[in-house]
Structure formats: C-alpha cells, structure tokens
Amino acid sequence: MDFPFSRIKGGVGAPQGFLTSAVSCGIKNPASDRLDLALIYSENPCSSAGTFTTNRVKAAPVRVSQSNLRKGDLRAIIANSGNANACTGVQGITDANAMCDAVAKPLGLKRSEIGVSSTGVIGLPMPMSRVEPKFESLIAGLGPKNGADVAAAIITSDTHPKEIAISFELGEQRVRIGGCVKGAGMISPSMATMLCFITTDANIPSESLRKSVLECVEESFNRITIDGDMSTNDTVFVLANGASGAPQIKRNSKECRKFREALCWVMLELAKAVVRDGERCTKFVTVKVVGAKTYLDAKKVAEAVCKSALVKASWNGGDPNWGRILHAVGYSRARIREELVDIHIGGKAACVGGLQSATPMDELRAAVAEPEFEILINLNQGNADYVMYSSDLSPEYIDFNRSEYAYWKQARKDGLV
Amino acid sequence: MDFPFSRIKGGVGAPQGFLTSAVSCGIKNPASDRLDLALIYSENPCSSAGTFTTNRVKAAPVRVSQSNLRKGDLRAIIANSGNANACTGVQGITDANAMCDAVAKPLGLKRSEIGVSSTGVIGLPMPMSRVEPKFESLIAGLGPKNGADVAAAIITSDTHPKEIAISFELGEQRVRIGGCVKGAGMISPSMATMLCFITTDANIPSESLRKSVLECVEESFNRITIDGDMSTNDTVFVLANGASGAPQIKRNSKECRKFREALCWVMLELAKAVVRDGERCTKFVTVKVVGAKTYLDAKKVAEAVCKSALVKASWNGGDPNWGRILHAVGYSRARIREELVDIHIGGKAACVGGLQSATPMDELRAAVAEPEFEILINLNQGNADYVMYSSDLSPEYIDFNRSEYAYWKQARKDGLV
C-alpha cells in the first residue's frame, strides 16, 4: 500500500463503539436462511453524512433516509436485501418508517437518527410480515462483531460480501474506518446501484464529514459502471462516532486532509470491489483518459467507452478491439480529433494517431487476456484527465437478468400483489 | 396500408432508369462467394441528398461521400460490405477515392458524382487487391434488376436482405421510390449503424430533396436503437433521377408534401426492418412516450428505456418488468414525477400512478411473449410525445460480438496489418 494506513480485520464493526447484527427473514425466499436484515449501531452519538441516487424514481428508504439525514446525526442503519422497496408508493414509505421505528424504540433513539436502506427487486411491496417478527432477535444480536454479518446480509446477486477496514494515526491518536458495500447489477455513475455503509471512530463534525463524503463519492462510486443502469436505491452512509478518543478534526486542517484521503481510499477500494464482483463479469478494466481539452471532455470519453455494449463484449471475448474503443471515443460528444488519438492496452500501444500500431497482435491479446488491465486513451489535445473503472458485459449477464418472474410469484404467494 | 401508395416488387432498382449490379470479392473471407460489392447507377443525371453518422470518428467513405455530395448531383453509389474502411487514415481515403474512380471512369462520370459506402470490421485496411479485379465485371453486370443484388451485397451480420419499393400518383404521373438498408449491430439514434440507399424516379430539385431527407431521417432512422452504439459509417443516400417523366416537384406544393410522406414511410419501414433484424434480437418493441412536458423530455425517456441493458434483458426473457422501465424513466433526466407515471404493455396497464396495476400478471406476460409489442409510457404532465423502435438484448448478441480476431487474422494473411 502506498499510503500510511494499515489494513485491519473486519468492516463496519471494526471502528470502536460500533455494534452490528444480522438475521434471516426470508425476504426474497421464505425457504432460505440467508442473512437479509442487518443493523449497525453506534454506542455514542454520531456525525453522519450520505449520498443517494440521482434517479428521479427513488425508493421509499431513500426518501425516508434523505429526510432523516438532514440533521447529520444518524446513529444506526437498518438495511435489508431481497426487496428494494422501490415503486411501492405510500405503502413503501410506511414500511420504511416502520423499519426505522422498530429499531429506534428499543435502542432509545429517535426515528430521525436511523438510516434505512433496501436493495433487491423493484416494484413489489416489502413482505413486512416476514420482517417484523425478526426485529427482536436482530436487536438482541447486536455485538462487537467486526461487521462481516452486515456485509453478508446486504448482498443480492453479488458473489461474495465486500468489506474493508483500515487504521491510521490522526495527530497523536489511532483512528479506524470500516466499510462494506453491495453492488452487482444496475451499476452506473451518479451513482452506482449499491449500498455502502462506512463507520469511523474519528471525531469529525457533520459539516466537514459531509464535504469529505461528497468529494470521495465523486472520486470513487461515481467512477464505476457495470451495465449503465442507474438504480433507484443507491445509498452511501458514513457514521463518525468519535469513540477513538481522538480530538475533533478541525476544518481544513492537516488531519482533515488525511482523514479525507483515508476515506477516499476506503471508498475507492469498495467501489473497485463492486466492479470486480459485477454481475457475471470476468474483467476489471481501468479506463484512463488523458490529454483532453477539459475535464468534461475526458469524462465524456471515459463514460462512452465504459458504457459501450460492443466494447464491453470485446473485453468479454479477450479481443483487444481498439477500433470499437475509438468508435466510442468518437460518439462521446467530446471534442476529439481522430488522427490524434493514441490507445494503449495493458501498457502496449494498440492505436497511434488513430491508426493500428505496430505492436504484435499476440501482445495485445495477452494484455486483454488478464482479468484486470488498463486502457489508456490519450486525446493529445490538452492536459485534462479522468479515470473510470468498468467491467465486461457477458452473455451470462443478460441471461441472468432475463426474468424476475420468480420474485413476482413469491409476492403473489405472500398476498402482496 | 393506411396510405395511397402501392407496394411494388424490388428495391433500389424499382424506380425507372436505375440500374444495379453486385459481385463477390471475398472482402471479409477470400473463400466466400457471398456478394460484397454493389453498384447503383442512374441513366439520367440526379438530384441527391444524404445524411451521415454524427460520430466524430468517421470512416473514410463517409468523409469522401460528404465531400462528393456537396453539389447534390450524385448519380451512382458504390458500396461494399465486410470492411468498414474506418480508422484507416490516409490510406482509407485513397482507397475510398479509388473505389469512386474505378466506377466513374467507365461510366463517364466525375468522381464527385459517386457516393461510396463501406460497412464491416473497423480498423483494418480495405483489401483492395481483392476488390480491384472485380470492378470490370461489376460495371458489366449493370442492368434493370430491381435491386435485390444490392440489398444482398451490403448486409453483414443481418440475417436477410431488406428492401422495399412503392409507387404512387404524383399529380398526373406515377412515380416510384425504392430502397434497401443494412443494419444489425452498432445501432443507435443519430444515426443508426447502417447503410441505406434510396432511389426515386420523381423529379425533385436537390434542395427540396435535402430538406425532405433530413426530416424523414429524423422520424425514422434517428428513432431506432439496438445496442446504443453509434457507428462510424452510417450513411443514407437518396438519388432522384426524374425518369418517371413527372413534372418537377415545386417547393412546399401538395406534391412536395406527398413525396415527403412517401419517402418518410419508406424510410420508417426500412428503419423498422433494421430493428426487426437486429443482431440476435427476438423482439421488436415500439416505445411510445406521451404526456411529457416537452418533446425533449419525451425523447429522453424513450431513449433511456430503449437503451437500458436491464430493460432489454427483461424483454428478452419475456418479463413484463415495469419496475425496470420506471427506473429507466427515472434516470432519463427528463422532468418526471414517479407518482404520475402510467405504463401500458401491449395495451394492458402494467403500472398506474407509479404503482403495480391490477392487471393479471399472466395477461402482461402474454403481451411480452409476442414478437412485437408496444410499451406506452404516459408521464401525465403535458402534451408532448415521442416514439422509438427498439429490440431486446440477448445473451447471443454478446456472444456474437465477443471477438473480431478472425478478421484480423485474415488481414494479416492479406499482408494488410
């Protein structure tokens, strides 16, 4: 690691003073005993910040959480997988509020101190009859468990839980940041289809935290895309409880910059983990655009390349198809000149001045055969750059997403539709 | 047909005075005897108009044709499939010009009277050594053949040639419009990845023709999407030679409107044929957005829905997944209010006011099981509307587009790379 942080065990439960719990409700499938309801709780009051999907269709828990977060004092997060509680109208809001109330009361908190998140199928009501009986054991289970239970309970089509924790010196004191994330499908910038929960025992006022969170999300979760579909449920929550005993971080201080750097690193690692575990993906591709006239030109090029179905299909096939990359550069609406564009794949020149390079095809194919590689696109027109993280698109992705009819059948059985 | 036109046999060769020819050069595969080089020639001078890809990376034949079209007097079109002559630099321009010269000289035309189009793999030089020996037989083969040879020679991954011809009364005289198109992959609005050639024996000045072509393309080819990838080679050419003997169409006359109506109908039929024959597609979906505040809002919604990988995967799976449609409506950046949105699938209400309708699921599934159906999205916020034509996205599409390595290997054998 090229930074002064140490990796430590666990995720959202790793920072001091955070307790976690998770139980199985059978939200998606009553016959399953998979964890699907999770709780994060801070023993101390917290500063908090968050970001949410910019989709105009927002899931009920997003609307409720946006309202609750206003004061910046969230102290607990309740989250479920299996049902997104999206496109569920007034009933959805009622259910999301009920989830907040169910944990607020026994924990002695106000409803507005609870963040709520849901992820899963859209358009079907929450099967609250299966969730409600589990709140008691959820709360009873709270303990210092490092957070792996939460990471496991929030995943859907992810192949594995994704969490991370680090510690580092802040002034005289050691502080910790832990986080977990779920991703897999409906992943696109601004923001990704995902839930991400981050805890820290640093002591930072909510206004400074909010600023750091916005900057770090811009450099991490807003830089990834799997399928270009922006979700209704995307949520990032960050809770800071000060339990490390470290002094309060002052605005614009050296400590503030260091904390922000650490938070960004954690978010970027989690964002990359989402891409690496994208639905039925086989490649992790870093697309770096340099030499653009402006930041926005660089961004447009990166987004067009990362979202092109044909480019992504070629990555899936291990084909170093620079022609398709260049064609996406061309339709990006960025100001580019074909004859100036260089494309490097895995460090090898594939296209120079808009034309095929002299690099032997076998070398380019070897680069794309790797599970992770970088595409460097130099527009040779200026000094602006932008980086994004993307995946391939596989036949299996489409196959996997062909039908959610089974969920509807379960909802029908539950009397919800 | 709800219009006063008659379908007639053939395509670009159906109007009076147009001769066609096609030969096999083995451009993509020397062992194949598939037609891959086509010629359309008018015995009389023509008015002409065209539109081209808005991709900033433009294939050499697009650049050459844009220049040649400037006077609006194209009289012949030379086109090949198997190689797009895109991202081929100065050599590409030389090759495209050579194709024009090779037909201009024997036909007694100027180079600037020739339109040239190529479609196929990007980034590999044209195998001119296999094309050049065939020009003589191409020209010798010119005859009144209705155009099926051209329609067959320009297709690539299309499963079948696509052509159409109609005749109708214009004033006292019968005139004809014929056309052919190739599509299949890299299909996205502004414009589609395709070549479309249209001929007519109507007598229309090039300025009026140009105006009609722009309007008709906007209502047809700019309304379709298969995979959201905008090609480097998209081209529409329209040649009008007046050979019907009908009097010249006057600007803004009743005849001008009728001609425009007929031209739009031909283009829309060809555009729909492209979607119906999209690469490995199984569904033809009309997405109609109504009740938008503005035309642009309606357009944004239609484009987001038609381009969503998840929506298209659900169509492939026969899943009437209105939640995914609504989520794409939400991220379209159009001004929408979730609680006002109604979605009808195949005439059945699937979503009313942002919520699941009472329509039995079996009825919705039956609608999506059809090979062609309509999605009607009512935003209930205004009077603007927009319609687009789209396809599903299949696992087979990704599989089909995984690698173009075989073409590179052939180019290597040809000594071109």
Inter-residue contact A232 to A59 (CB < 8 Å) = yes
Q: Please list every residue in chain A whose beta carbon sits closer than 8 Å to the beta carbon of residue B412.
A: 361
Which of the residue ranges A41-50, A397-406, B172-181, B291-300 would you say has the lowest mean pLDDT? Answer: A397-406
Establish if B322 touches chain A: CB-CB under 8 angstroms: yes
Please tell me the predicted confidence (pLDDT) of residue A388. Answer: 92
Report strand pairing: A18-23 vs B372-378.
unpaired
Close Cβ partners of A355 (under 8 Å, ≥ 6 residues apart): B87, B88, B89
- The CA distance from B176 to the nearest CA of chain A, in Å, is 35
Establish if B89 touches chain A: CB-CB under 8 angstroms: yes
Domain B6-276 shares a fold with domain B284-393: no
Report strand pairing: A37-42 vs A18-23.
antiparallel
Domain spans of chain B, in order of start = 6-276, 284-393
Q: Which residue among the candidates B20, B119, B193, B235 is catalytic per the annotation? A: B193
Active site residue B225: no
Report strand pairing: A173-182 vs A224-225.
unpaired
Distance (Å, whole) CA B87 – CA A14: 52
Q: Please list every residue in chain A whose beta carbon sits closer than 8 Å to the beta carbon of residue B121.
A: 323
Residue A348 three-state SS: strand
B272-323 pLDDT tens trace:
988 888 878 899 999 999 999 999 999 999 999 998 888 999 999 999 999 8
Q: Which residue among the candidates A51, A119, A193, A235 is catalytic per the annotation? A: A193
Establish if A322 touches chain B: CB-CB under 8 angstroms: yes
Determine what percent of chain A is predicted with pLDDT higher than 70. 95
Does residue B361 have a cis peptide bond before it, meaning omega lies within 30 degrees of 0? no
Residue A209 three-state SS: helix
Inter-residue contact B163 to B178 (CB < 8 Å) = yes
Beta carbons of A356 and B417 less than 8 Å apart? yes
- Give the confidence band of B120 by pLDDT, cuts at 50, 70, 90: confident
- Give the confidence band of A192 by pLDDT, cuts at 50, 70, 90: very low
Q: What is the mean pLDDT of chain A?
A: 90
- Give the confidence band of A144 by pLDDT, cuts at 50, 70, 90: very high
Determine the residue of chain B that is closest to A60 in CA distance. Answer: B338
Distance (Å, whole) CA B207 – CA B196: 20
Beta carbons of B322 and A123 less than 8 Å apart? yes
Determine what percent of chain B is predicted with pLDDT higher than 70. 95
Q: Please list every residue in chain A whose beta carbon sits closer than 8 Å to the beta carbon of residue B321.
A: 123, 403-404
- The CA distance from A401 to the nearest CA of chain B, in Å, is 6
- Give the confidence band of A228 by pLDDT, cuts at 50, 70, 90: low
Establish if A185 touches chain B: CB-CB under 8 angstroms: yes
Beta carbons of A314 and B401 less than 8 Å apart? yes
- The torsion defined by the Cα of B182, B187, B189 and B194, in degrees rounded to 10, comes to -20
- The alpha helices in B154-277, defined as continuous H runs, are 206-219, 254-276
Establish if A122 touches chain B: CB-CB under 8 angstroms: yes
How many CB atoms sit inside 10 A of residue A108's CB?
7
Candidates 3.10.129.10, 3.60.70.12, 3.30.1490.100, 3.40.50.720; CATH matching B6-276:
3.60.70.12
* Residue of B309, B316, B397 lying closest to A227 (CB–CB): B309
CATH architecture group of domain A284-393: Roll (3.10)
Task: Look up the ipTM and state it.
Answer: 0.78
Establish if A396 touches chain B: CB-CB under 8 angstroms: yes
* pTM of structure: 0.82
Determine the residue of chain A that is closest to B226 in CA distance. Answer: A309
C-alpha B32, offset from chain centre: 25
Which of the residue ranges A63-67, B50-54, B59-63, B161-165 would you say has the lowest mean pLDDT? Answer: B50-54
Which of the residue ranges A37-46, B124-133, B217-226 would you say has the lowest mean pLDDT? Answer: B217-226
Q: Please list every residue in chain A whose beta carbon sits closer than 8 Å to the beta carbon of residue B318.
A: 402-403
How many CB atoms sit inside 10 A of residue B99's CB?
28
Residue A76 pLDDT greater than 80, yes or no: yes
The one-letter amino acid at B215: E
Beta carbons of A232 and B351 less than 8 Å apart? no
Beta carbons of B338 and A57 less than 8 Å apart? yes
CA angle A72, A213, A149 (to 5 degrees): 80
